[in-house]
Amino acid sequence: DVKVTQSSRYLVKRTGEKVFLECVQDMDHENMFWYRQDPGLGLRLIYFSYDVKMKEKGDIPEGYSVSREKKERFSLILESASTNQTSMYLCASSLGGRAYEQYFGPGTRLTVT
Amino acid sequence: AQSVTQLDSQVPVFEEAPVELRCNYSSSVSVYLFWYVQYPNQGLQLLLKYLSGSTLVKGINGFEAEFNKSQTSFHLRKPSVHISDTAEYFCAVKRSSNTGKLIFGQGTTLQVKP
């Protein structure tokens, strides 16, 4: 089975802190994605990556950056956390030619106080 | 631009009853359509997909969906639900010419009551 793991299930940070969310997949997938999930808004794409060191902005990249130094790992960075970034963050991965069939991690619920 | 609308935020239903979760999309180009399911405290998993061919697609756990191009809909159905089907369901669309992004709907919470 494909496994996508996220470093924390729950995280509490203070406003202004730099926050790192880590995601690792074990199936050699080329594509990796970061979403945030908010009630009534569904999932919104923050960033995605098709290859190592390659990234593209999604629909809501403001306030976020990403890093992909190794194929299996995709990190989401909040440079200066704000309360409006309190949310559930989901990481996903997929094969290169099947970007629609994404495998998701369990999510990290981030609270910024 | 593409968008996806899930018409019901919550659908309560009794066990063994049929259910339909509605999804409409807007796009001027050919699309691929998907339903994902999120069980409590888990990530999403793919339930079923429509890429081409037969407009009636079957997925896991007895679910099926029908692609209706004229009505731009992709409703999800199950003839008899179980308690274990309680989850949040997301409809998603992707342009067939695009290698990347899925656009997700707002989600529908299916609550199956005993």
pLDDT at position B52: 86
Q: With 70 as the cut, is the pLDDT of residue B96 above it?
A: no
Would an 8 Å CB–CB cutoff place B43 in contact with chain A? yes
CA distance B75 to B24: 8
**Torsion from C-alpha of B66, B67, B68, B74, nearest 10 degrees:** 80
Task: Tell me the three-class secondary structure of A1-31, residue by residue.
Answer: CCCEEECCCEEEECCCCCEEEEEEECCCCCE
- A37 in Cβ contact with A43 (< 8 Å): yes
Q: What is the pLDDT of residues B61-82, one digit of tens each?
A: 999 999 998 999 999 999 999 9
CA-based nearest distance A41→chain B, Å: 5
Q: What is the DSSP letter of A53?
A: T
Q: Which residues of B touch A104 (CB under 8 A)?
A: 43-45
Mean pLDDT, chain B, integer: 91
Which residue in the set B4, B94, B106 is minimally distant from A100, CB to CB? B94
* Residue B53 pLDDT class (50, 70, 90 cuts): confident
pLDDT at position B94: 85
Would an 8 Å CB–CB cutoff place B96 in contact with chain A? no
Q: What is the pLDDT of residues B31-50, one digit of tens each?
A: 889 999 999 888 899 999 99
Helix (H) or strand (E) holding B49: strand B44-50
CA distance B60 to A61: 33
Would an 8 Å CB–CB cutoff place B94 in contact with chain A? yes
Q: What is the DSSP letter of B80?
A: S
Question: Which of B3, B4, B33, B44 is the mutation pick for testing A, counting most A CBs within 10 A?
Answer: B44
Q: With 70 as the cut, is the pLDDT of residue A52 above it?
A: yes
CA-based nearest distance A89→chain B, Å: 10
